[in-house]
Amino acid sequence: PAPGAPGGLFAWLRGRCLGRGAAVDPARDTFGAMTGLYGAIQPADSVSLSTRTHGAVFNLEYSPDGSVLTVACEQTEVLLFDPISSKHIQTLSEAHEDCVNNIRFLDNRLFATCSDDTTIALWDLRKLSTKVCTLHGHTSWVKNIEYDTNTRLLVTSGFDGNVIIWDTNRCTEDGCPHKKFFHTRFLMRMRLTPDCSKMLISTSSGYLLILHDLDLNKSLEVGSYPILRARRTTSSSDVASSGSSTPRAVGSPCHHNDLGPLSEKHLSRASQREGGSPRNSLEVLTPEVPGERDRGNCITSLQLHPKGWATLLRCSSNTDDQEWTCVYEFQEGAPVRPISPRCSLRLTHCIEEANVGRGYIKELCFSPDGRMISSPHGFGIRLLGFDGQCRELVDCLPREARPLREIRSLYSHTDVVLTTKFSPTHCQIASGCLSGRVSLYQPKF
């Protein structure tokens, strides 16, 4: 709103602080129109993309300009499609020696893939006949890739419990210089906030780790980082000792790791903190999950709001008999009293998911404007909003947690959907399932 609009100057200034308004986001009206189009998509408005048997689809990723859709497959393949024409471009038939788990674009041409073969590969769309290089450093399945565009550092995580930093500024055919940045037990997923100021790590034991004031150039050895505002619902030693739930891969056996850096001794440093937060301050918390207060849970999927306002989790009970999609708002600022713990996350919205495909991880995502969530739901996907009008999160923050609103259900698969992704530039949603089919949803005119 303009200064002269209802609400006056103070309301306008508050909107600017929250990252809203035409002066801050000139594309807001465009995203509002896109949201309306998403709500009009029908189940029949889908296109099936497939080449040959390539196993389950574990991950989907669009290039930043939306011109290429990449597909990570169970049977060592990476598929590339033109999402506009729905045409198959190329198949990288032996991209890895084991399951391809995740794909991440560094820019519109360069992308990285990771695999259960413990390696990461860099590819260039202009020359897909050979890899740019292969990165060796993990000792177990690599599940997640992030990229800091400011420093051009690649960040990967795997079931060896390690988060590794790769310097792509000094990349050669033999690989990139790398270092182990962080280690924890039961690591599932790792994400960077859009401004790379925080790193979030989810675990199969139900804990969420947040590194505040992130500095990727400083490796964190055991005991070298301060623990801040630790909010726990169980004893603090459980991070190092809990073994009730082990990391589970999509269609893969359990994996155990015997190392754990956190202990009572390290957590007690929270009470010793004085002054401002130092770099790489670690917060350990157990996110509230509806219906799971008396049982353990596993955080299987972790995503972040495109504007950094919230985190999106897919949680399942240890027995896999219940799943939830939960949204948590970031609460910034110091605690009221320095010695009083304060949780940085507050549950704002949640919804129970279909318990289909037990043991398989379902990857969900935010829309480019953050107003909608696409969530695998049985043999299809659900489009979810914070309210019935698909308003932005900061415009409809509840005092108490509320259910996410189902905007549309889209079903075009004959098997369990494992992953879904919004196009960053077009009104299009992609989904991939256990039997290897990829579907595109878009409105028809």
Q: How far lies 422's CA from each of 19, 233, 370, 443, in Å?
A: 22, 35, 11, 13
Residue 247 has pLDDT above 50, yes or no: no
Mean residue pLDDT of the chain comes to 79
According to the model, what pLDDT value does residue 13 have? 58
How buried is residue 57: exposed, middle or buried, by Cβ count under 10 Å (0-12/13-18/19+)?
Answer: buried
Return the H-helix or E-strand segment holding 299. Answer: strand 297-304
Q: How far lies 338's CA from each of 265, 285, 334, 349, in Å?
A: 19, 17, 7, 29
Domain locations along the chain: 43-54+293-444, 96-221+280-286
Phi, psi of 249, rounded to the nearest 5 degrees: -95, 165
Q: Do domains 43-54+293-444 and 96-221+280-286 have the same CATH topology?
A: yes
Give tens-digit pLDDT for 14-66: 555 555 554 445 455 566 676 778 877 876 666 777 656 688 999 999 999 99
Both structure tokens of 175: 């690989």
Both structure tokens of 159: 């079931």
DSSP bridge pairs for 421: 430
According to the model, what pLDDT value does residue 15 have? 59
User: What's the CATH code, domain 96-221+280-286?
Assistant: 2.130.10.10
User: Mean pLDDT across the stretch 201-222?
Assistant: 86
Find how far residue 261's CA is from the centre of its chain: 23
According to the model, what pLDDT value does residue 268 have? 34
Percent of the chain whose pLDDT exceeds 70 = 73
Q: Where are the beta strands (DSSP E) in 138-259?
A: 142-148, 153-158, 162-167, 178-183, 187-192, 199-203, 208-212
Across the beta sheet with 87-92, the strand order is 57-62, 69-73, 78-82, 87-92
C-alpha 68/C-alpha 144 separation (Å) is 20
Return the H-helix or E-strand segment holding 82. Answer: strand 78-82
According to the model, what pLDDT value does residue 322 have? 80
Return the H-helix or E-strand segment holding 119. Answer: strand 119-124
Give tens-digit pLDDT for 135-178: 999 999 999 999 998 889 999 999 999 999 999 888 887 778 89
C-alpha 159/C-alpha 364 separation (Å) is 20
Residue 229 has pLDDT above 70, yes or no: no
Give Cβ neighbours of residue 162 (< 8 Å, ≥ 6 apart).
137, 138, 139, 180, 182, 183, 187
C-alpha 311/C-alpha 302 separation (Å) is 7
How buried is residue 68: exposed, middle or buried, by Cβ count under 10 Å (0-12/13-18/19+)?
Answer: buried
Q: By mean pLDDT, which of 88-97, 176-185, 220-229 is the weakest?
A: 220-229
Give tens-digit pLDDT for 412-430: 898 999 999 999 999 999 9
Most confident of 17-31, 41-55, 274-288, 350-364: 350-364
User: Mean pLDDT across the stretch 234-239?
Assistant: 32
According to the model, what pLDDT value does residue 3 have? 47
Confidence of residue 68 (pLDDT cuts 50, 70, 90): very high
Class of domain 43-54+293-444: mainly beta
Both structure tokens of 120: 């990461």
Confidence of residue 342 (pLDDT cuts 50, 70, 90): low
